[in-house]
Amino acid sequence: MEKLIISLIFIVILSSLSIAIPRGYARKQGPVDTENAWFQNICRGKEKVAKLHFYVQDLLSGENTTVYEVARASITSNSPTAFAQVRVLDDLLTAEPDINSEVVGRVQGLITSADLETSALAMNLNFVFTSGQYSGSTISILGRNEIMNKERELPVVGGTGVFRFARGYAITSTHAYNVETSYGILEYTIYVTYIDDSSMRLPADM
């Protein structure tokens, strides 16, 4: 009986998903039939884990600034942790620490100083990949970043394209920071699940 209830719940969840997902994607990804077929086949795909490694070019000032403050509170200027400062960023992702190395993509999002006592950010980041096998796919990260720690862990909460149904985490550290120019180079390693669909190609793709 219990098994029956569980499988019924599963069927209900699956059928509601199959109505909701293809519609959203159909808008930019092509025929609804293709999306339906992808969804029907997803259970046959194998879940794998990818390890992505790259650098974030964090330019806080100067002519090529990519991080801008959009709001602060009455407390921010006198707070040792810049509490309640809200910033928006659109940083370049590169394969190596050098800003002129191979471009991997961008990271765009919102960072808020959200700890009264310790320097820690509440981060909402979308990594947009523009080269290689992940080009066109995105990974979303949402979490707490205690920036003075050598290594910080952030949760991967989802993704699009190759990273549909993604789960995982990122380890990040500050590779270099120039106080005078407010230029930071951050290292990111992301461990993320993805569905290997090479075993479930649609006839149209072959």
100 vs 198 by CB, closer to ligand NAG: 100
Spacing of C-alpha 156 from chain mean position? 6
Note every long-range contact of 23-32, with CB atoms under 8 Å and residues 24 or more positions apart, other chains counting.
none
Shortest distance, position 123 Cβ to ligand NAG, whole Å? 25
Query: Which has the closest alpha carbon to 154: 196, 194, 184, 109?
Result: 109
Shortest distance, position 52 Cβ to ligand NAG, whole Å? 24
30 vs 62 by CB, closer to ligand NAG: 62
Give the residue nearest to ligand NAG (CB): 64
Distance (Å, rounded) from C-alpha 160 to C-alpha 99? 26
16 vs 64 by CB, closer to ligand NAG: 64
At 119, give phi and psi (nearest 5°).
-70, 105
Shortest distance, position 135 Cβ to ligand NAG, whole Å? 22
2 binds ligand NAG (CB under 6 A): no
The DSSP line for 76-91 is GGG-TT-TT-EEEEEE
Distance in Å from the first CA to the final CA of the chain: 43
Shortest distance, position 127 Cβ to ligand NAG, whole Å? 21
15 binds ligand NAG (CB under 6 A): no
Q: What is the x/- site pattern for ligand NAG, positions 53-72, by CB under 6 A? A: ---------xxx--------
66 vs 137 by CB, closer to ligand NAG: 66
Are 128 and 138 in contact, with CB atoms under 8 Å apart? yes
The contact set with ligand NAG (CB under 6 A) reads 62-64
